[in-house]
Amino acid sequence: MAELIGASPSKARTGGWPSRPLLGVNVDHIATLRQARGTRFPDPVQAALLAEQAGADGITMHLREDRRHIQDRDIERAADMLNTRLNLEMAVVEEMIALAERIRPANVCLVPEKRAELTTEGGLDVVANRDRIAAACRRLKAAGCEVSLFIDPDPDQIRAALEVGAPVVELHTGAWVEASREHAPVAFERIAAAGEMAFEMGLVVNAGHGLHYHNVEAVAALAWCNELNIGHAIVARAAFSGLAEAVAEMKRLMVGARDSARLQRAARLAGGDSRGTADVTTDDTHGQPL
């Protein structure tokens, strides 16, 4: 049985805002390229080790029921070889829960799956599946896995996540990423507000899906953001500039965005206002202290 590897540092539970957003690199689509020909290469575990060297804080692998890309062997090898931590994405089904109990990855992210989908289309409906998800959370926690729920940025889903005992949520950013220019601001505000609500309720808050080099900074700047899981855009960039550069550049953008946001908040507060103290509960920092 693979030893449990490095658990995710859940900064929310230590009381402070996450100092810098962590980068989880999803290597699914390295495996997509391999499965295209049924070869042994490119190897997603080799990619994961390279990504770690380039700055990834964790590795995400989505073991789908149809095994279209990541295979069971990839999960087993990654659990034994990674130096950071494995985040296993999986559906809430017995086959996957039993596999996670056997392999014991540091993190498990429960995601919805439809066989016909091109990629994940929406968040997990925790509200409609409380008992089933709560039972899965209990089993996975007993196996030593830190459970996150991949949910839409919806207050009802956040409250349900807390009720079923998940310590972490990952907010689905797809609706914002795919929104028209007209609707994007509202979609982004929905993510920002949902993340703040989840953080204030004591959850660790991650985000992901469809993030790339031209939209990542907006999410990385949000002070509640503990980790971003990013895959497709990094693998696409790697095809032209190599995986190490693709990972390093994504991490640079994320850290730079958070540092810049923090400096802007400090400058605003240093500028003060008529009362001499900035009202951090109403400005655009979403009530986030420095």
Ligand X SMILES: CC(=O)[C@@H](O)[C@H](O)COP(=O)(O)O
Q: Are 76 and 117 in contact (CB under 8 A)?
A: no
Stretch 207-246: interaction string toward ligand LD2JLWAY, x if CB under 6 A: -xxxx-----------------xxxxx-------------
Please, what is the minimum distance in Å from the beta carbon of residue 121 to ligand LD2JLWAY?
12
Q: Which of 228, 221, 243 is nearest to 30 (CA)?
A: 243
d(CA 57, CA 9): 10
Q: Which is nearer to ligand LD2JLWAY, 44 or 231 (CB)?
A: 231
Residue 142: HSE in the Cβ half-sphere, 13 Å Cα cutoff: 10
Q: Give 30: exposed, middle or buried? Use CB within 10 Å, 0-12, 13-18, 19+.
A: buried
Phi-psi region of 67 (alpha: psi -120 to 50; beta: other; left: phi over 0): left
Is 122 annotated as a binding-site member?
Answer: no
Using CB distances below 5 to 8 A depending on partner kind, what does residue 153 bind out of ligand LD2JLWAY, ligand X, none? none
Q: Is 37 annotated in some ligand binding site?
A: yes
60 scored as a contact of ligand LD2JLWAY (CB under 6 A): yes
| Alpha-carbon span 117 to 119, nearest angstrom | 5
231 assigned binding-site residue: yes
124/261 with CB nearer ligand X: 124
- In the numeric block, which tokens belong to residue 112? 């919805």
Measured from the CB of residue 229, what is the shortest distance to ligand X in angstroms?
6
> Could you say which of 57, 89, 146, 196 contacts ligand X (CB under 6 A)?
89
214 assigned ligand-binding residue: no
**Catalytic residue positions?**
62, 89, 209
Residue among 114, 128, 116 nearest 161 (CA): 128
Q: What share of the chain is helix, strand, coil (3-state, %, to 5)?
A: 45, 15, 40
CB 84 within 8 A of CB 55: no
Using the rule CB under 6 A, is 28 a contact of ligand X? Answer: yes
User: What is the separation of C-alpha 174 from the centre of its chain, rounded to a whole number of angstroms?
Assistant: 12
**Chain centre to alpha carbon of residue 128:** 22
Stretch that binds ligand LD2JLWAY, among 11-19, 63-71, 203-211, 249-257 (CB under 6 A): 203-211
When binding is defined by CB under 6 A, the residue of 150, 176, 188, 199 that contacts ligand X is 150
Sites of contact with ligand LD2JLWAY (CB under 6 A):
26, 60, 170, 208-211, 229-233
Sites of contact with ligand X (CB under 6 A):
26, 28, 62, 89, 111, 119-120, 150, 208-209, 229, 231
Please give the annotated binding residues, written as ranges.
26, 28-29, 37, 64, 69, 119, 210, 231-232
Please give the annotated binding residues for 1-deoxy-D-xylulose 5-phosphate, written as ranges.
28-29, 64, 69, 119
